[in-house]
Amino acid sequence: MNIIADAGIQTEILPLADYTFSGCVDCGYCSGLDVPNCSQDDSYTNEFLPRMVDTDVVGYVFASPVYFGGMSSQLKAFFDRSVVFRRTGFRWENLLAGALSVGRSRHGGQELTEMEILRSALIHGMIALSDAAPTAHFGANLWSGYPAGIREDSAGIRTAENLGKKMVSIARKMYG
């Protein structure tokens, strides 16, 4: 079952681990630009940035492993660099934002990570989503402690499915 694809919504995965970039250096270059750009010559500027200036995008699910009870440094750097989209006209405003986290401890900070992600999304003026009822909490919440990892986490997978359902139902209400 692919809830998003079945609803006719196209998806793309951008794995942060495939790209090399670090955090924002607060150089101020992007302040006042009309078109998003960044002074740092790296994967974020050359590969992410052009792909994320896409007016057809309805929303993003931001995903992270739980590292030390919160989002990974890669995702934090990603959000810090995303200030360019805020400074060039709040380009992510009113896009949908969902959160997915994976931790190896049963209560290792998955919910805190989801809230960190949604907090960052709110700073863009995005619409922060829960997963859909009946699991409705803070997003997709997975435990990788089973021998086969998250594949065995049926309760966690249900929250991920319900996040997809939530995104589809809100997208339909917004865009028909």
Ligand X SMILES: Cc1cc2nc3c(=O)[nH]c(=O)nc-3n(C[C@H](O)[C@H](O)[C@H](O)COP(=O)(O)O)c2cc1C
Task: List contacts with ligand X (CB under 6 A).
Answer: 65-69, 102-105, 108-109, 144
Q: What SS3 state is found at 63? A: strand
Question: Judging by DSSP bridges, how do beta strands 59-65 and 127-128 pair with one another?
Answer: unpaired
Nearer to ligand X, 45 or 144 (CB): 144
Q: Where would I find the beta strands (DSSP E) of 57-95?
A: 59-65
| N-term to C-term CA, the chain | 22
Nearer to ligand X, 14 or 123 (CB): 14
Least distance between ligand X and beta carbon 142 (Å) = 8
Least distance between ligand X and beta carbon 117 (Å) = 14
Residue closest to ligand X when measured from CB atoms = 108
Nearer to ligand X, 90 or 146 (CB): 146
Least distance between ligand X and beta carbon 144 (Å) = 3
Residue at token pair 């929250």: 159
How far is the C-alpha of 162 from the C-alpha of 29, rounded, in Å? 40
Nearer to ligand X, 36 or 109 (CB): 109
Short-list 85, 81, 83, 63, CA closest to 72 = 63
Least distance between ligand X and beta carbon 150 (Å) = 7
